[in-house]
Amino acid sequence: MKRLQTATLAMSAAALLIVIALGAWSFGPMTARALADQIGEMAVAYNNAQLERDFEKVYPQYRARLPIQIDDRTTLVDLSYRGHLFRLRHLVETERSRTAAIASSEQTRKSTLAKVCADEDMRATMKRGAIYEYQYLDRQSRLLNSFDIRNADCAL
């Protein structure tokens, strides 16, 4: 009888170990992946909050200078930020048709990209994850062009 109890106990312990091993093998990677994802999300949230605090510091200085004439037909009229996104809205004064203004958007993006990538402060901010969103509107507030610039764009 004692042997039977010992054998039953040993088999129960072995079965429990097998269940634990299978559980760890099956669910362990998912748990580790979920934990890694959660840590990554927390790091992104912290970085976004830090960028937003940095934007809060410089925002009033730039906002007070608006509107800023960029060239003979483009004026920076509004700035805003949220998390890691810094938005710059421009008013485009043009006699050309809306279609022609939209068609010149690639040239605008290329010239803006060159200026942003040459600016050390903007590059440093983008290396921390910031994205600069440029929007170009006509007098009726219709979107003519919009593009983002991130750090990876400067490597192209």
Q: Which domains does the chain have, with CATH numbers?
A: 60-154 (3.30.300.250)
- The pLDDT, as a whole number, for residue 41 is 63
- pLDDT, tens digit, 9 for 90 and up, residues 93-149: 876 666 666 667 788 899 999 999 999 989 998 998 999 999 999 888 888 889 999
Residue 88 β-bridge partners: 79, 134
pTM of the model: 0.69
**pLDDT score, position 62:** 83
At 116 the pLDDT is: 94
Selected residue with higher pLDDT from 72 and 101 = 72
